[in-house]
Every structure is written in C-alpha cells, then in structure tokens.
Amino acid sequence: MSGVELESIVKAYGALQVVHGIDLKVEEKEFVVLVGPSGCGKSTTLRMIAGLEEISDGQLTIDGRVMNRVAPKDRDVAMVFQNYALYPHLNVADNIAFGLRIRKEGADTIASSIEEVGNILGLTDYMERRPADLSGGQRQRVAMGRAIVRRPKVFLFDEPLSNLDAKLRTQMRAEIKRLHKRLGATSIYVTHDQVEAMTLADRIVVMNDGRIEQIGTPMELFLNPANAFVAGFLGAPP
C-alpha cells in the first residue's frame, strides 16, 4: 500500500495562501499528472509531498503513514527536477550512486545497482562522463537514474522534460511510460503540457489558482470537462 493521500492540504507563505485546501488520493502504482497554468501551485504541492516545503495545514499520508513532520529522507519518495540537479563534479556513475552512498550501502550493492540502472536507462556507455559532457536527454536520464536507484515507493516529477526539444520530449515521454510499467511505482508528475498529461496519465488533476478544478482519466476530462477552464486548458491545441 504505497498510495499518497492529501487531505485539505494548504500552503501559505506568510499571509499569502497559494494552495487552498487540496484533496487528492493517488492509488498505489497509479500515474497521476498534475496540470495547470504557471503559478497555480503544482510545484508547491509536489514539494510538500517530498517534504521540501512545510505543509501549512491539512494532512499528508504516504503508505498509510502521516508524513507532515517526517524528514524528506525518511519519506521514501524520490523527485526528478526540470533542471536535473546533477552534481557537476561527479561522473554519471557517481551521480547515480550518490544517494546509496549516503545510505551507507555496501560497495557490491552500489556497483550492481549502478549497472542495473545504467542498463535500464541506456547509460552504460556514459558512466565516466560528467554532466557537462552529456546531452540534455542524457542528463535527464541520469536524473531519473538517481531517483530509480533508491527504489522509492513514490516518484515525483516536476516538469522533467520541459528543457528538452520537442523530438526528445516525445521520446522521453515514451521512456517514462515504459519505466513506470517496469517499476510500477506510484508516480505524481507535474507538467503544464496538455499532450504530456494526456499521454502519460492514468488520471489527470487539473489545477488552477491553488485549487483542483477536476480529477479524471484523460478520456473523462476530454469528453466531460467540468467547466470552461478545464475545457480550455485541455482542449487547446498543443
């Protein structure tokens, strides 16, 4: 049971409330995509789930356990960022291994994990390179490798493909889908790209101005948008 449940989740920065009480239940192994315009609170919501941002009010549960006060490293979640957040001075293998070394895993475990993740993501030929000597797509693969290698219960993605060109985005989309099938981890994926949402999601959560407008399968939202905002957002040409 590694579902994620948000109950009346609120985020305020001082007097400014930016997330106004979100309710969302993500089932185990489900791939849920949060979409909405820039500034609507997608990243803030994700960062509260990861523990990178304090929750102002409401309750977050992962795997049936209340997480509000649990440190990020103890939440069993891994996050993939838009800007990759790789260590520039470490090569690919060491970037992937970083989290395992912090956890003080043994050398054999680390070596076999690096090899496995390298194979899964097609990085075996690049293990000695540093991030500066990789393409954007390769860097994003390393960032995903770093998340996968820790075998988290929950994957969080914050616009991981938005720095890539259109062709690479399409390719990486397919790869993320394949990875999700293979690993089966609960995933929450943030994007402002409707096509990405429609192709990746089991269910889409449409956000606007710190609130949820509608939750449903891509087909449900497409055929039955709850209001003009949802219709406009998902119906707009890519």
Chain contacts with Mg ion (rule: CB under 5 A): 43
Q: Is 13 in the site for ligand ADP (CB under 6 A)?
A: yes
Q: Which of 6, 9, 24, 40 binds ligand ADP (CB under 6 A)?
A: 40
Cβ neighbors of 166 (< 8 A, separation 6 or more) are none
- Smallest distance, Å, CB 27 to ligand ADP? 23
Whole-angstrom Cα distance, residue 202 to residue 191?
Answer: 14
- CB of 143 or CB of 205, closer to ligand ADP: 205
Determine the Cα angle at 85 with ends 81 and 87, to 5°. Answer: 155
Nearest to 200 by CA among 35, 3, 19: 35
Q: Is 41 in the site for ligand ADP (CB under 6 A)?
A: yes
| 88 phi/psi in degrees, rounded to 5 | -65, -30
- CB of 37 or CB of 122, closer to ligand ADP: 37
Q: Which stretch binds ligand ADP (CB under 6 A): 36-44, 84-92, 114-122, 141-149?
A: 36-44
- Smallest distance, Å, CB 54 to ligand ADP? 11
* Residue 235 binding target from ligand ADP, Mg ion, none, CB below 5 to 8 Å by type: none
Whole-angstrom Cα distance, residue 84 to residue 67?
Answer: 25
Q: Is 113 in the site for ligand ADP (CB under 6 A)?
A: no
β-strand pairing of 77-80 with 65-66: unpaired
Cβ neighbors of 109 (< 8 A, separation 6 or more) are 100
Whole-angstrom Cα distance, residue 4 to residue 52?
Answer: 16
Q: Is 38 in the site for ligand ADP (CB under 6 A)?
A: yes
- CB of 44 or CB of 186, closer to ligand ADP: 44
- CB of 33 or CB of 117, closer to ligand ADP: 33
Residues numbered 121-140 forming contacts with ligand ADP, rule: CB under 6 A = none
Q: Which stretch binds ligand ADP (CB under 6 A): 11-19, 100-108, 125-133, 167-175?
A: 11-19
CA 209 to chain centre: 20
Q: Which stretch binds ligand ADP (CB under 6 A): 37-45, 61-69, 148-156, 228-236?
A: 37-45
- CB of 18 or CB of 195, closer to Mg ion: 18
- CB of 2 or CB of 43, closer to Mg ion: 43
Q: Residue type for 169, please?
A: R
Q: In residues, how long is the chain?
A: 238
Nearest to 96 by CA among 137, 62, 127: 127
- CB of 82 or CB of 214, closer to Mg ion: 82
Q: Where are the beta strands (DSSP E) in 90-210?
A: 154-158, 186-191, 203-208
Whole-angstrom Cα distance, residue 35 to residue 191?
Answer: 5
Residues that bind ligand ADP (CB under 6 A): 13, 16, 18, 36, 38-44
